[in-house]
A = this chain, B = another copy of it.
Amino acid sequence: MTVRLDTLPNGLRVVTEDMPALQSAAIGLWIDAGGRHERLEQNGIAHFLEHMAFKGTARRSALQIAEEIEDVGGYINAYTSREMTAYYARVLQQDVALALDILGDIVLNPAFASDEIEVERGVILQEIGQSLDTPDDIIFDWLQEAAYPSQAMGRTILGPAERVSSFQRDDLSRFVAENYGPGQMILSAAGAVDHDEIMRQAEALFGHLQPVSQIAIEPARFAGGERREIKSLEQVHMALAFESPGYRDEDIYTAQIFASAMGGGMSSRLFQELREKRGLCYTVFAQAGAYADTGMTTIYAGTSEADIRSLAEVTASELARAGRDISEQEVARARAQMKAGLLMGLESPSSRAERLARLVSIWNRVPALEETVARVDAVSRDAVAAFARNLAGGELAVAFYGQAADAPSRADLQERLVA
């Protein structure tokens, strides 16, 4: 398998990896335009724009977009995150050019017809409703808000309903003009793909784009904080967050190994302590999320009203304990999980295309697998223990949702974290 990376004269990067055993491919555009690129009054526009891309272009109606890709058995989708918007497709080998043509069309030529804007507004308001009906989804929005108060980083991707209700065509066009430049775009493909053909087509589709200055994002400031939403639910949902390394930080793998050892699998400390020993929860996990300039390690678990205090306190105590006694074996296991996960992920064209885009976005190159493996292997037990102590000593963001009156306060938890 060969990775190839080229840059068009206007700055658009094209990265591909041929996987000779496959008869299908994943292809997409990853664009440096997400929630963090929105001004306050734009909150939700990146995501609204992502929706509008599918609602018709100069050449295709919304129905034609859907039909063209689905006529050949492919599918097309998109997502918006805090730092990126991605548009991607999965198709059979012979349909890669079609997929790229459609992706280019919907990203570059959205029609923004006013009737379609009105319809899509309704869809997004329903999406907001659906998110509010999913406790283990919405709680992460509240956690983010508590962690980064009054900052672009703390705002939701979907945006508040009031803003979504007001966006117009000009708001969309402006966000595109500010953010959708070729220097902000990475075209990534993996599977049964031909790099030279994709380059030729990329040149034809995107070669005319004029560079756009990258909007400076407001540096994130993890403040910590608390959000407690009382509602009559079956479970009390809990989410915790701590400041942790960004993508480019030396110790990003230390953070990931820590998260894995704490809540990455069945052998992890929180799974063992909360679920296996105490039967307090069904779902518990920890993750080390990363952004350009910072990161956030998050923990989630849900339990009954009677047990929320105990769940939260044990979680905090386990985090404190990890700083003292995390073992060589636990760190070795987390390393093995990361490396195997990496290898298995590479066997899927979708996750491979996504990984290529992320690596190019972070490093402007694709580090060899061995390089990543060496960095994972270099993480020591002592580094993880030191990381854990530092994390537990930092500010905490916490969100509770449900019958949460008995949940401990943030101050209580902070105390336990350093006890």
- Of A66, A91, A280, A332, most buried by chain B (CB within 10 Å of CB) is A66
- Do A126 and B303 form a contact, CB below 8 Å, given A24-B340, A340-B24, A344-B24? yes
CB distance from A393 to the nearest CB of B (A): 28
> Which residues in B have their C-beta under 8 angstroms from that of A125?
304
User: A62 contacts B336, CB within 8 Å?
Assistant: no
User: A267 contacts B66, CB within 8 Å?
Assistant: yes
CB distance from A265 to the nearest CB of B (A): 5
CA distance A20 to B22 in the complex (A): 11
- Do A235 and B63 form a contact, CB below 8 Å, given A20-B21, A267-B70, A279-B120? no
User: B349 contacts A347, CB within 8 Å?
Assistant: yes
CA distance A23 to B71 in the complex (A): 33
- Do A277 and B119 form a contact, CB below 8 Å, given A66-B265, A73-B336, A348-B348? yes
Contact with B along A368-408 (1 / 0, CB 8 A): 00000000000000000000000000000000001000000
The residue of chain B having its C-beta at the shortest distance from the C-beta of A77 within the complex is B266
- Of A91, A123, A349, most buried by chain B (CB within 10 Å of CB) is A123
- Interface residue A132 (Cβ < 8 Å from any Cβ of B): yes
A61-83 residues with Cβ-Cβ distance < 8 A to B are 62-63, 65-67, 70-76
User: B122 contacts A75, CB within 8 Å?
Assistant: no
Contact with B along A286-298 (1 / 0, CB 8 A): 0000000000000
- Interface residue A283 (Cβ < 8 Å from any Cβ of B): yes
> Which residues in B have their C-beta under 8 angstroms from that of A76?
266
- Interface residue A121 (Cβ < 8 Å from any Cβ of B): yes
CB distance from A304 to the nearest CB of B (A): 6
> Which residues in B have their C-beta under 8 angstroms from that of A282?
123-124, 126-127, 129-130
> Which residues in B have their C-beta under 8 angstroms from that of A280?
122, 126
CA distance A119 to B276 in the complex (A): 7
- Interface residue A101 (Cβ < 8 Å from any Cβ of B): no
CB distance from A230 to the nearest CB of B (A): 13
The residue of chain B having its C-beta at the shortest distance from the C-beta of A272 within the complex is B63
User: B333 contacts A235, CB within 8 Å?
Assistant: no
- Interface residue A178 (Cβ < 8 Å from any Cβ of B): no
The residue of chain B having its C-beta at the shortest distance from the C-beta of A121 within the complex is B279
> Which residues in B have their C-beta under 8 angstroms from that of A271?
66
CB distance from A10 to the nearest CB of B (A): 30
User: A279 contacts B119, CB within 8 Å?
Assistant: yes
User: A133 contacts B234, CB within 8 Å?
Assistant: yes
- Interface residue A278 (Cβ < 8 Å from any Cβ of B): yes
User: A129 contacts B336, CB within 8 Å?
Assistant: no
> Which residues in B have their C-beta under 8 angstroms from that of A74?
340
A to B CB contacts below 8 Å, 12 in the list: A21-B22, A55-B276, A63-B276, A66-B265, A67-B267, A70-B265, A70-B336, A90-B344, A119-B277, A121-B279, A129-B302, A134-B134
